Amino acid sequence: MVEFVGTSMDVTEQWKARAELEKAFEEIKQRTEAARRSERELRDVVNTVPAHVWSTSPDGQVDFVNDRWLKFTGLGLDEAFGWKWEAVLHPDDRASVVADWHTAVKNGQAMESEARVRRADGEYCWWFIRNVPLRNETGKLVRWYGTAIDIEDRKRAEQALRKSEERWRSVFENSAIGVALTDLNGRFLATNHVYQTIVGYTEEELRALYFLDVTHEDYREANWALITELLEGKRGQFQIEKKYLRKDGSSIWVRNSVSLVPGTERVPRFIMALAEDITQRKRAEEALRRSEGYLAEAQKLTHTGSWAAQVAQTENVYWSNVYWSKEMYRIFGLDPDSTPPSSMAFARLLHPEDAPYHTPVVEQAIRDRTDFENDYRVLLPNGATKYIHVVGHPVVNASGDVVELVGTAMDVTEQHEARAALQTAFEQIKADETELRRMTDAIASYICVLRPDGTALYANQTVLDYLGLTLEDVQREDLSARIFHPEDLERLLEERHEALARGKPFEIEQRELGKDGKYRWFLVRYNPLRDDQGHIIRWYATGTDIDDRKRAEERMRNENLALREQIDQAFMFEEIVGASPALQTVLSSIVKVAPTDSTVLITGETGTGKELIARAIHKHSHRSGQAFISVNCASIPTSLIASELFGHEKGAFTGAVQRRQGRFELAHSGTIFLDEVGELPAETQIALLRVLQERQFERVGGNRVLPTDVRIIAATNRDLTAAIAAGTFRADLFYRLNVFPIEVPPLRKRKEDIPMLVEYFVKRYAEKAGKHICKIDNNTLELCQSYAWPGNIRELQNIVERSVILCGGDTFWIEEAWLAPVQPPRQGLAGPLPDTLQNQEKEIIEAALAESKGKVAGPEGAAVKLGIPRSTLDSKIKQLNIRKHKFIA
């Protein structure tokens, strides 16, 4: 090397810049170290937080988890970052949590969820997860922070609560006893099916009731007193045995266990009652009490042994004798000072053929909790055999388990020997019976032999030939259904069952099916055969063919029905027409009194239709199917009225050549109508009073008292109170008749009915006359409504009939002169009839007599023209002192 060459540069500025740079780097280093220390400190803080913490970038990528998170999941950082954390979620929760996280990242909204997260040991625990966004001062999302806390205990508590509620609901619904919940006032809140079955109500019906509503009245006060103590804290719970009243009205024994259930924030306190049906136990206890009383008396009188056995509560039925009476030891031939034999030792006492059958009987009784009876033989030490009849009863504890058997054992050896002798006798009777059957087969009558319950044992050949059946067919249980007419079957079975139960001879008419397929009527007479003790052992039935007689009776019945219908039509030729308030009052009274048997007194003027009202009462009564007998007391001579009403014996008076029934006998079971009852003479009033008071009478000339079942309806146009004051009518008879008074209004007091009545009578008489009348003259209607009608409906009827005869066209009219205005009668009845009304009535009758030329009866007579019976007209002529002879042409 021979030379150095180079350059020189001024680097002062560079050195200054480097120094400043180094200073800046040192500051950055210091700040970085401080930040790192702060980050470490923050991490340390985050790692000490009792929660699982993480953070993510704005797009949801995990870039930090705390140590608690790593330690819980057992993952490394590389396994937690990004989206790898999904692996620790339970497969059933993963999809929903990831979807929620994606939605939160997209919307920038906070997210909360619950999910199961896998621990490091592979088990899953419940977390409550929350992610919240972090935004800068401009509102831009720069980071996500997440936390999770362990809620496993809470979830387990919730699950336990849910299971507890499910168990409670299952117990409530499926409990073998009734459960009822009520509020503090006793109103039902909820009940299970068993409780509803016990009381017979549905749950909806019970919600409207209180527990006292289903409690028997004998227990309500005591029950409520216990509830009060329960609510006041004086007792924690109580039990009571009481009776419930079921919906159907029956009662049932229950055992109630009642307690107060504390409330919660959401549920107030309530009362819970457990109800157990103990009816069977109560009945068993009552039966046991009776049984013990009977048992004590029986041991005194019959030397019957008593016993008791304890029942073990094991899987297999087992019992052991704990008590034998002295009589038991004597019956079984054992030492009375020894202890009762064990069940095995007792079995060895039984006859080898009976032992296998007795034990199952007792076991079945224990399982079914039922009484039992059995018969077996016992082999005594001396080699003798005894026949024993045993009766047992299971005793049940409060839990329903059989804990004891009690019963009696009776030595029935003598009875058995007597039964054997009786069997021998029966066999002889059976042989005699066979011979008797041969004899009865040869008889042409219909003969059957029946068991005590009515089932057939034997039928003779005549019966078999008619029915076309064999003896085996007759002995079948369905014989009645096969031979009896279907319309008679139910009636016959019921009547025969009741008659057989009475045990007395009886007879029944029945239709039986012959082999020709036709039914015939038979009269069957039943007679019982009894043994020496009076017990029925057979029924003998003999039948008589009465078909011809029954058919003749049916024909006669049909003829009678037709005749009765004709009679009803003949008498019921009028109807009650009108709608006025006055008439409606009468009809209302008819409806009320008709179903009763009360005596009715009908008052009203002549011609108002009193008999029509009486017939309406009869038709609407339960006697409507029986006779309605009408008697006009004013038309019958005084000397004959008693004979007419009550009948007379042969020779009772001159002309009485034979016995004759009176109207009361003819009306038996029906109704008798006594028209113009105010005209009865004094002696007849006394006889009628006896009928009303004692329901009996005597025929004229007779001394035999005859009972009567008849309803009495009386009518009068007189003022009976005035007659009583005048001494012509008995006050006691009036009060007997006036049980239910009905006053029939006169036509002038029901003028609104006149148009209807006119139309009704016009139609009737137009049809009768063969005329076609379709209109009624308006002036005629006005005239009719302005007229006073002293003769009432009867006068209206006669005038309409007369006008129909005279009408020549299709329009109905009435001659104005026929309805000359008259002075209206005074209101009320001062005597038998007001003087003005008597004068009017006399003028009408005299006009009718003049028109008929003095004739009273016959088709052209005055009675027909006036529309009243001849007897009534005769009475009126006599009463008004009319001399009818002056009108004879």
The third-level CATH classification (topology) of the domain covering 45-156 is: Beta-Lactamase (3.30.450)
Instruction: Let me know if 879 is exposed, middle or buried by CB neighbors in 10 A (0-12, 13-18, 19+).
Output: middle
pLDDT, tens digit (0-9, with 9 covering 90-100), for 816-861: 888 865 554 444 444 444 455 677 778 788 888 877 877 887 777 8
**Rounded to whole angstroms, how far apart are CA atoms 192 and 180?**
7
Paired strand residues for 114: 128
Q: Tell me: the pLDDT tens digits for 465-487?
A: 898 999 898 888 888 888 899 98
Asked if 852 and 873 count as a contact pair (C-beta separation under 8 A), the reply is: no
State pLDDT tens for residues 28-45.
556 545 545 555 555 665
Q: Of the candidates 279, 288, 273, which has an alpha carbon nearest to the alpha carbon of residue 238?
A: 273
Residue 119, φ and ψ in degrees, nearest 5: -80, 175
Average pLDDT over residues 208-235: 92
**Burial (CB count within 10 angstroms: exposed 0-12, middle 13-18, buried 19+), residue 448:** buried
**In this model, does residue 564 exceed pLDDT 60?**
no
Nearest alpha carbon to residue 665 among 634, 639, 693, 626: 626
Convert the pLDDT of each residue in 703-744 to its tens digit. Answer: 888 898 999 999 999 888 888 888 889 989 898 999 999 999
Percentage helix, strand, coil, to 5, in the chain?
A: 45, 25, 30
> Same CATH topology for 175-277 and 443-551?
yes
Question: What is the pLDDT, as a whole number, of residue 297?
Answer: 66
What mean pLDDT do residues 552-567 have?
A: 60
Listed range (74-88, 424-438, 761-775) with the worst mean pLDDT = 424-438
Q: What is the second-level CATH architecture of the domain 175-277?
A: 2-Layer Sandwich (3.30)
Please tell me which residue, 875 or 741, carries the higher pLDDT value: 741
0.85 surpassed by pTM: no
Mean pLDDT computed over 661-665: 87
- Helices vs. strands in the chain: H and E counts, helices first: 31, 29
Please give the C-alpha separations between residue 371 and each of 285, 364, 646, in angstroms, as whole numbers. Answer: 13, 10, 68
Domain ranges of the chain: 45-156, 175-277, 288-411, 443-551, 572-743, 772-887
Angle between helices 610-619 and 581-593 (to 10 degrees): 40
What's the per-residue H, E or C state across 291-341?
HHHHHHHHHHHHCCEEEEEEEECCCCCEEEEEEECHHHHHHHCCCCCCCCC
The string over 688-727, giving b where at least 16 C-beta atoms fall within 10 Å of a residue's C-beta and e elsewhere, is bbebbeeeebebbebeeebebebbbbbbbbbbbeebbeee
Place of tokens 């003749």: 552
Burial of 457 per CB tally in 10 Å (0-12, 13-18, 19+) = middle
Q: What is the pLDDT of residue 88?
A: 85
CATH of domain 288-411: 3.30.450.20
CATH dotted code for 443-551: 3.30.450.20
**pLDDT classification of 349: cutoffs 50, 70, 90:** confident
Second CATH level (architecture) for the domain 572-743: 3-Layer(aba) Sandwich (3.40)
Sign of CA dihedral 788, 792, 793, 798: negative
Backbone conformation region of residue 686, classed left if phi is above 0, alpha if psi is from -120 to 50, else beta: alpha
